[in-house]
Amino acid sequence: MTGAALARSQLPLPLVRRGKVREVYAVGDDQLLLVASDRISAFDVVMREPIPYKGAVLTQMSAYWFDLLKDISSSHFVTCDVTEIINRIPDLESYDSTLEGRSTLVTRTDPVPFECVVRGYLSGSAWAEYAEEGTLAGERLEPGMVESQQLDPPLFSPASKAYEGHDENITFGVMRDALEGDLAERLRRMSLELYAEGCRIAAERGIIIADTKFEFGIAPGGQVMLIDELLTPDSSRFWPADRYEPGRGQPSFDKQPLRDYLAESKSDGSWDGAAPPPTLSAEIVAQTSARYLDAHRRITGSELPIV
């Protein structure tokens, strides 16, 4: 039973990267340990208060999808079983409560420097581009579409991966020119297949995956594999299907209470929209945590193993 929320891990392993959400540690030369903290970001600002169970939700949901979708793409996933991780890395024995539920041992890859975004609905930056230019990823869409309208078929709209700061939407042509051989086409095809199968499964559970982002890496042997996280609320827009209504923005499954609170703080002038963020009340934190747990329950059909 792990109750305490974790804002940041500090393990006795070489730290490769501290992202907005994860710490990435090296395990020997060919593996990484990804530790998903309970940090949450919204409007590109990381909040001070961690959200209990969020890191475990992201970790367990990714593990669930990596297994379910392994026939479409192999992945970096090795194990997220804390006992197995500690058996392999005995130095971490006393850190087991920090690691439980939120850590994944993975194959270290050379990440492809593009985010493979698939969109099945017109939302977020895609809606902004369409509303302004009539295009998506530089390609013209039919006129007269409304916000949150379904895109049929779904569209591949890659972004270049910025190490710091904002990722930038690009055209498929830019991605194709930058990658060797037919890698861009392969990634596009795999992304569309992963998205289609993910949507089919989520729909049975009352969730629309409006869009999502896949990341791929090249393993030392040259194998292309899915890396990072997979079809989680942080890498995707999940919408409750029973409340879907085109022509407006949709409520977000997970971050809506937080987004509403931040939007209110901006409009009443108590927050300027940049770091540092406003303090989150215990109620907002609890509501957000409950939303993440609910997303996990709805998608996987089971409770988080550590709750």
Among 38, 100, 215, 254, which residue sits at the site for ligand ATP (rule: CB under 6 A)? 215
- Is 24 a residue that touches ligand ATP (CB under 6 A)? yes
- Is 19 a residue that touches ligand ATP (CB under 6 A)? yes
CB of 175 to ligand ATP, least distance (A): 16
- Is 69 a residue that touches ligand ATP (CB under 6 A)? no
CB of 18 to ligand ATP, least distance (A): 7
Tokens 């006393």 found at? 94
Separation CA 60–CA 232 (nearest Å): 9
Separation CA 97–CA 75 (nearest Å): 26
Pairing of strands 103-107, 159-160: unpaired
- Give the count of alpha carbons within 13 A of 134, CB side only: 4
Instruction: List, in sequence order, every beta strand (DSSP E) within the chain.
Output: 15-18, 22-27, 31-36, 41-42, 45-46, 77-79, 103-107, 110-111, 114-121, 135-136, 139-140, 150-156, 159-160, 168-169, 207-218, 224-227, 236-240
User: Among the candidate windows 50-58, 64-72, 105-113, 299-307, which touches ligand ATP by CB under 6 A?
Assistant: 105-113
- Is 109 a residue that touches ligand ATP (CB under 6 A)? yes
- Is 106 a residue that touches ligand ATP (CB under 6 A)? yes
- Is 255 a residue that touches ligand ATP (CB under 6 A)? no
Structure tokens at 47: 């909040």
CB of 196 to ligand ATP, least distance (A): 23
- Is 17 a residue that touches ligand ATP (CB under 6 A)? yes
- Is 108 a residue that touches ligand ATP (CB under 6 A)? yes
Eight-state DSSP code of residue 305: T
Separation CA 147–CA 71 (nearest Å): 34
Among 76, 119, 255, 296, which residue sits at the site for ligand ATP (rule: CB under 6 A)? 76
User: Among the candidate windows 100-108, 117-125, 142-150, 202-210, which touches ligand ATP by CB under 6 A?
Assistant: 100-108
Site map (CB under 6 A) of ligand ATP, residues 259-278, x = contact: --------------------
- Is 35 a residue that touches ligand ATP (CB under 6 A)? no
CB of 185 to ligand ATP, least distance (A): 21
Separation CA 6–CA 37 (nearest Å): 6
Pairing of strands 41-42, 110-111: unpaired
Tokens 């907002």 found at? 284
Cβ nearer to ligand ATP, comparing 19 with 278 = 19
Separation CA 101–CA 104 (nearest Å): 8
CB of 187 to ligand ATP, least distance (A): 14
Q: Contact positions toward ligand ATP, by CB under 6 A?
A: 17, 19-22, 24, 32, 76, 106-109, 111, 215, 217, 227-228
